[in-house]
Amino acid sequence: MPKKYLIADEFGTHIGKHSQRLRLTRSKTREKLGDYPLLHLEAVLVLSQGVSVSADAVQACSERGIPIFFIAGTGRVYALLYSAALVGTVSTRRAQIRAYDDERGVAVAIAMAQGKLRNQRAALRYFAKNAEAVRADAVQIAAQHVQDGIVELDRLPRTASLDEIRNILLGIEGRAATHYWEGVRAILRPTFDWPGRRTRGANDVFNQALNYGYGVLYGQVERALLLAGLDPYAGFLHADRPGKPSLVLDLIEEFRQQVVDRPLIGYVNKGGHLEQDEEGLAKPTRRKIAELVLDRLTTRMPFEGERLSLNTILQTQARRLAMFLRGERDAYEPFVGTW
């Protein structure tokens, strides 16, 4: 199978270009750790400090549209290298900024919230099928509470401004999330002691694993938005803040359950080990999570009469969002995966 992702997670390694491939080596000994043909490569992920990347490798990736992600131990993408040509489109970004102040922005915000809740509901129902009776009942109850949130979203007026409706949207989303994570807690195998969802400052291994997985997905979402000509920092559902890529946070909502939650929950429930060290997630665990997420992105599923990879669906959603904002589509429909 072609190597689609180069993962550099060891201190003191180097990524260089050799002919038509990238090569990962140990910097001191020049020991070769792997060759990655540029023809098949989709992304480079740097998961450790002390990794160097040659200018030739950066140029080769830029010319071929291969992004280079730098991901901290917490899952935060602290840098992303991509071709400057990706941000050359202007008309889409102008339409994106204007949409914030009219009904298009409201429609997008509601649609993305609906996508998140529908995927949460579907995920809970999927996992309830394989849970013991008592746990399955708890999961189904959580799914019904999420369904209540979907009904609330359906009733929201599409004529209000984003500033008027955002707090209502986030309130509905937050209540549904509480029930969703209660359902996930019931889904996890009983021997896996999980305190519940925590985001910032999480100390337990499963929350850290979720945050790391979302970080890997986050980079893929930002790339999809850039390829569609959109500004990752001008969102609709999430408010603008300096340094906060709010549109990335908007679009990622449609994909969290399919791309991160599903493979990670499945891995844990099948006895997979998540380990920590003094710095947080252990290096083998970070690599495993990255592999789970990246492998999941290559999974094909039914999508409007075709079988497409989740990566392709993600890019399709970004392009359709851009088309809607430019007035080339009548509506933006969120992605809801099959389970």
- On whether 173 is known to bind a ligand per the annotation, the reply is yes
Residue 178, φ and ψ in degrees, nearest 5:
-60, -45
CA distance 221 to 246: 11
Q: 96 in helix, strand or coil?
A: helix
CA distance 285 to 164: 42
Of 18, 22, 27, 72, which is closest to residue 44 (Cα–Cα)? 22
According to DSSP, residue 241 is labeled B
What does DSSP say about strands 68-71 and 77-81: parallel, antiparallel, or unpaired?
antiparallel
| One-letter-per-residue 3-state SS of 177-235 | HHHHHHHHHHHCCCCCCCCCCCCCCCCCHHHHHHHHHHHHHHHHHHHHHHHCCCCCCCC
Cβ proximity of 312 and 42 under 8 Å: no
Q: Please report, for residues 34, 85, 241, 289, the alpha-carbon distance to residue 223 in angstroms, rounded to integers and kept in the order given.
A: 25, 13, 20, 19
Number of Cβ atoms within 10 Å of the Cβ of 195? 11
Residue 244, φ and ψ in degrees, nearest 5:
-105, 115
CA distance 124 to 175: 15
Q: Is 214 exposed, middle or buried (0-12, 13-18, 19+ CB in 10 A)?
A: buried
- Return the half-sphere exposure (C-beta side, CA atoms, 13 A cut-off) of residue 292: 28
- On whether 152 is known to bind a ligand per the annotation, the reply is no
Q: Is 15 exposed, middle or buried (0-12, 13-18, 19+ CB in 10 A)?
A: buried
**Residues in the annotated binding site for Mn(2+):** 173, 238, 253
Q: Residues comprising the binding site? A: 173, 238, 253
